[in-house]
Structure 1
């Protein structure tokens, strides 16, 4: 009986932490918060950060109390993933390895940044960049809702994980045949949990 209550308690705590964080971010967004930047990769390994902040995958996948917010996040996360697939096909010509939950966290932040916009997230144009050491490349530009005039742009800068341990991991994955069905010959790119979001309005606010 005691063991059955532990997961629920942990889940409740995670929900509370998420609620406080979301509320704080929304307050900041209302004060002209146009930039959100994370640097998780500078602290510990991606896996350690995921476990400490979000628990297991099952835990953080169900943090949203409002089902409509959860659905919007899932939809925008897929929008980001589709953009990365387009970039993979047209520009990178290699597999892209995405950390578990990264697109959902980015989607959540974009929804928060969109709250103060006239058309909400429907007016969002998303430009995805990839930071590789000192080189930053624009990969793809996407319009979230083609039927709505874009009122603002979100510039999403993702970062390639260039740590030595990641290079060894990718080498092992190639040697063990993880990419044997891939159509690309180039070395896969692995993203880290760090990202930067910058919002630029495409209209002049009334004074």
Structure 2
């Protein structure tokens, strides 16, 4: 049995490792703050052992500052509200969002906004949806409407078009998962991949 001292030591070591990992991730992100693009899951399985990858929820304990975590959660809520608006006005179908996706997006946006004059408060976000060869603009979201936008970020989400996803959606419809939905169109399921592109809305002075 481990005594309390050993347990506390292990906790401290894990905390230091996580802090180092977070710092390293932030440094990598700062090297190219204008574009952040995630990897897309494999569309086809080559072996029987290949399984759908599950994203790590690094965002849960990413922020040591509670205020930064609160900003992240607030922006994630704005993104989700924006997608609800797009669902009602444009798509006319249910949108299935992977667990943790909006928090990871919000985390990356906060990192991209660190060098901006007003920080994340000056962010204007435009959300796009990539559907096979078609990319359409869905909605615009502003973190703080009372602050003049100093930079714009274009978020491109991707619909998951893998075969097993289509089967899963069909099964969900057959089992009545959407029986209370007001939409009759086939729901859209987003994948974990996304792209963020930043554009400044001001001219930097020397």
Please indicate, yes or no, whether the TM-score normalized by the shorter chain is above 0.5.
yes
Q: 1:35-55 CA deviation, whole Å, 9 max, x = no partner?
A: 0000141388895232xx33x
The separation in 1 between residues aligned to 2:82 and 2:189, in whole angstroms, is 16
Which ranges of structure 1 fall in alignment gaps of 5 or more residues? none
Report if the CA contact (8 A) 1:30-1:116 is conserved. no
Give the corresponding residue for 2:71: 72
Question: 1:126: which partner in 2?
Answer: 125
Distance verdict in 2 for CA 1:133–1:46, change over 3 Å = farther
Distance 1:37 1:13 in 2: 28
Q: How do residues 1-207 of structure 1 correspond to structure 2 at under 5 angstroms?
A: 13=14, 16-17=17-18, 19-28=19-28, 30-31=30-31, 33-42=33-42, 48-50=53-55, 53-54=56-57, 61-207=60-206
**Structure 1 residue ranges, 4+ long, deviating more than 4 angstroms after superposition:** 9-15, 28-32, 43-47
Q: Whose helix proportion is higher, 1 or 2?
A: 1
In the aligned structure 2, how far is the partner of 1:131 from the partner of 1:159?
5
Query: 1:65-98, CA deviations, whole angstroms, 9 ceiling, x for partnerless residues?
Result: 3211211111110010011001001100000000
Q: Is the 8 A contact 2:41 2:53 kept in 1?
A: no
TM-score under structure 2 normalisation?
A: 0.84
Runs of at least 5 residues in structure 2 that lack an aligned partner in the other structure: none
Query: 1:28: how far off?
Result: 4.4
Separation in structure 2 between the aligned mates of residue 185 and residue 11 of structure 1, nearest angstrom: 52
What TM-score comes out, normalization by structure 1 length?
0.84
The structural deviation recorded for 1:13 is 4.5
